[in-house]
Amino acid sequence: MQIARVALDVPLHRFFDYLVPDGEPLSASDIGRRVRVPFGTRSRIGILVDLSTASDFPVAQLKAIEAVLRDLPALPPEWFRLSEFCAAYYQAPLGEVMLSTLPAGLRRIDPPAARSQRRVTKLLPPQDPPELTAEQQTALATMADAGTGFKAYLLHGVTGSGKTEVYLRLVERALAAGRQVLLLVPEINLTPQLEARVAARFPNAGLVSLHSELSEAARTRNWRAALAGSARIVLGTRLAVFTPMPDLGLIVVDEEHDASFKQQDGMRYSARDVAVFRARERGVAIVLGSATPSLESWANAADPRTPARYTLLTLHERAVANARLPLVQRIDTRLEKLQDGLSGALLLAIEKRLARGEQSLVFLNRRGYAPVLACPCCGWISHCTRCAANLVLHLADARLRCHHCGFESRVPKACPTCGNQDIQPFGRGTQRLEEVLTVRFPQARILRVDRDSAKSRKQWELLVEQIHGGAADILVGTQMLAKGHDFPKLTLVGALGADAALFAADWRAPERLFAQLMQVAGRAGRAELPGEVLIQTEYPEHPLYAALVRHDYPAFANEQLREREQAGFPPYTFQAMLRAESPKMADALAFLATARAWPQAGGHADVMLYDPVPMRLARRANFERAQLLVESPSRRALQAFLGEWGSALAAIKAPSRLRWHLEVDPLEF
Ligand code: ADP
Ligand code: ZN
Ligand code: ZN
């Protein structure tokens, strides 16, 4: 008698036993195949994880496997180890991890029929690779000297320093050695240029992309090509980190600091961290690249307090001859009365660009027209009824919209409480800025670029084309515009509203602000035209801005690390967050209090449990939210604690509408 142990996509920390039909015995080589099994009232796809001759359950009660799917090679052992690591590290049920990382088409009983592929990567004309700069050569030589085996590198290079060229040379080496390459990027929408560059450089490598905007069929096909080994390069977003690749020889994580690598629901993993684990497990090199590395990665590479775990490689200079870094200046906004939020210096600088036929970008990381609509008579403000947040005014389509729960409504003509017809927008978002600039510069062509104007990849590509084609004089945009794009005619960047992040309750806000400003500044003057960046601020003497003016990321990072060490924040401690949400705050807090009172917690002396508190956004979509922070100076101690605590949490009796989750290494508070 053969018993098949099967992983299923259910929130339980266990596998399920099935009988193997007599006529069709399975062998060890079938482990890792998908199987169809009856579960409850229907059939499901699972993964065969083990074969046995006995079961802990009465054999008479076991059902039989319905089918073994042999359309794919079995998932390799490395893929199992990756899933096991994630399940253990992120406290997620293994079956859920395994199944959720497969493309949906392979998880379904009847996947939709594949349609022919439409979108083809635009092929750039083949170009001879440039001659490497001295810094690029040094970086590549260092990596070559390290030989084979696991090695992690942090490639810190200013924008335009030629990091991508370094990746391409590494890819070339790996391909020549007969290995596959995994290239991870934060958001595929924002990096079509990279895809085109890789495709042009390696036209015969069967490059495939993997991201959530692909059709189910395309994603399945690309994933299969990676598993079969016909795709030698996989370029994808965070979910691609789980792609099985039998000959994996190199992993590159571009813009490694980007928060998009963090999955925000289900299993809350960091694709960057998973990638590092995977490289170690596979014994291959991993390169993390950024102009503004995450402080975690920086600490791993360059923290004087701790031994370096990553090798730091630095590109100080821009790669293109004569392309200099932009001149960054602070504009002290305390010294003048701003005109619709714009300083005289910025207005003048824009005017100069208009006269010279160059582009300007005004950066404001807040979309919509105004963050709130208010009645000056009675004090009414546009609250979201479902969240502890305001409704944002979107004048372009005459809606009030909640950025947290998606609720929307018409814009009222008069105050809903007192009937006053003169209700006012307060504050400023990109739409309002666009309006102000239109009035100021009627002759200019103004283009707004944010999540509202670039909802789809198509819209985004169209906008980028317009910008490249010189169809815009002034760009108004959010951080979307800051990522990975060369705009050759852009020579001026003005940044508004940056100060808010200096004093935010979230202690990671300065790190994000610095990265954003550095990235957005990197857009200015990439080609032969020198760039200028003007930052409007009331705190011009703040060290963050001072470091920015000098393009001195290391100074900023080291100062931040010093502060974090003093305050006992990551990366000097390790954290996990237990969050609960429920229609009633009291229930959420009570759940967390029970979790905190877990009797065995005392046995984990190195682990500290804080008091449960309401979250900053204390209500979202009619759920009250609270959280409990767990902290330890030792990752190992934290993991040991979470392993036991996780099972205890599952046993807590909670009201039926209460939801909770545990997040390891949370990024947001
Ligand atoms: P990063 O990824 O660091 O922002 P890129 O690799 O995109 O930088 O390079 C920026 C620009 O410099 C690109 O236009 C690229 O073609 C060019 N470039 C890169 N390396 C070299 C080089 N060695 N010589 C000349 N141009 C280069
Ligand atoms: Zn009113
Ligand atoms: Zn809401």
Model confidence at 234: pLDDT above 90: yes
* 607-642: pLDDT as tens digits: 999 999 999 999 999 999 999 999 999 999 999 999
Of the listed ligands, the closest to the CA of 404 is 3
DSSP percent split of the chain into helix, strand, coil, nearest 5: 35, 25, 40
CA of 413 from ligand 3 middle (Å) equals: 21
Closest Cα to atom 10 of ligand 1: 160
CA of 140 from ligand 1 middle (Å) equals: 15
Ligand 1 atom closest to 315 (CA): 3
CA of 373 from ligand 2 middle (Å) equals: 11
* 518-571: pLDDT as tens digits: 998 888 876 677 899 999 999 999 999 999 999 999 999 999 999 999 999 999
Closest Cα to atom 9 of ligand 1: 162
Confidence of residue 669 (pLDDT cuts 50, 70, 90): confident
* Cβ < 6 A, ligand 1 pocket: 130-133, 136, 157, 159-165, 319-320
**Domain range annotation of the chain:** 3-107, 134-315, 327-369+428-563, 574-664
Of the listed ligands, the closest to the CA of 417 is 2
When mean pLDDT is compared over 56-60, 450-454, 590-594, the highest value belongs to: 590-594
Model confidence at 120: pLDDT above 60: no
State the pLDDT at residue 374: 97
State the pLDDT at residue 526: 67
Does pTM top 0.85 for this prediction? yes
* CATH code of the domain made up of 574-664: 3.30.70.360
* 75-87: pLDDT as tens digits: 999 999 999 999 9
Mutate to test the pocket of ligand 1, among 164, 290, 324, 553 (most ligand atoms within 8 A of CB): 164
Q: Helix 585-596 vs helix 635-650: angle between axes, to the nearest 10 degrees?
A: 120
CA of 377 from ligand 2 middle (Å) equals: 5
State the pLDDT at residue 237: 96
Percent of the chain at pLDDT > 70 equals 97
Model confidence at 189: pLDDT above 90: no
577 DSSP β-pair partners: 629, 663
Model confidence at 453: pLDDT above 80: yes
Average pLDDT of the chain is 93
Model confidence at 345: pLDDT above 60: yes
Question: CA 595, CA 589: separation in Å to the nearest integer?
Answer: 10
Strands 180-184 and 233-236, by their bridges, are: parallel
Question: CA 405, CA 622: separation in Å to the nearest integer?
Answer: 9
Model confidence at 116: pLDDT above 70: no
Of the listed ligands, the closest to the CA of 379 is 2
Architecture of domain 134-315: 3-Layer(aba) Sandwich (3.40)
Confidence of residue 305 (pLDDT cuts 50, 70, 90): confident
Tell which residue, 107, 103, 94, has the closest CA to residue 7: 94
Tell me the torsion sign for CA atoms 301, 302, 308, 312: positive
* 367-411: pLDDT as tens digits: 999 999 999 999 999 999 999 999 999 998 999 999 999 999 999
State the pLDDT at residue 190: 66
Model confidence at 111: pLDDT above 70: no
- Asked whether the domain spanning 327-369+428-563 has the same topology as the one spanning 3-107, the reply is no
Ligand 1 atom closest to 323 (CA): 12
CA of 622 from ligand 3 middle (Å) equals: 8
Tell which residue, 11, 222, 17, 18, has the closest CA to residue 97: 11
Place of tokens 């479902």: 386
Confidence of residue 336 (pLDDT cuts 50, 70, 90): very high
CA of 102 from ligand 3 middle (Å) equals: 32
Closest Cα to atom 6 of ligand 1: 162
Inter-residue contact 288 to 152 (CB < 8 Å): yes
Phi and psi (nearest 5°) for 128?
-70, 135
Which amino acid type is present at position 26? Answer: L
The pLDDT of 252-275, averaged and rounded, is: 95
Strands 474-477 and 608-609, by their bridges, are: unpaired
The pLDDT of 252-270, averaged and rounded, is: 95
Ligand 1 atom closest to 321 (CA): 25
Inter-residue contact 326 to 531 (CB < 8 Å): yes
Q: Which H, E and C letters describe 372-436, residue by residue?
A: EEECCCCCCECECCCCCCECEEEHHHCEEECCCCCCEEECCCCCCCCCCCCCEEECCCHHHHHHH
* 315-325: pLDDT as tens digits: 998 888 777 88
- For ion ligand 2, residues whose CB falls within 5 Å: 375, 377-378, 380, 415, 417-418, 420
Question: CA 501, CA 506: separation in Å to the nearest integer?
Answer: 8
* 415-431: pLDDT as tens digits: 999 999 999 999 999 99
CATH superfamily of 3-107: PriA, 3(prime) DNA-binding domain (3.40.1440.60)
Tell which residue, 92, 12, 5, 94, has the closest CA to residue 56: 5
Confidence of residue 484 (pLDDT cuts 50, 70, 90): low
CA of 428 from ligand 2 middle (Å) equals: 21
Model confidence at 413: pLDDT above 60: yes
Confidence of residue 119 (pLDDT cuts 50, 70, 90): low
The pLDDT of 240-260, averaged and rounded, is: 96
Dihedral, CA atoms, 196, 198, 202, 207, nearest 10 degrees?
-80
Tell me the torsion sign for CA atoms 272, 276, 281, 285: positive
Phi-psi category of 178—alpha, beta or left, where left has phi over 0 and alpha has psi -120 to 50? Answer: left
CATH superfamily of 327-369+428-563: P-loop containing nucleotide triphosphate hydrolases (3.40.50.300)
User: And the tokens for 467?
Assistant: 């910008």
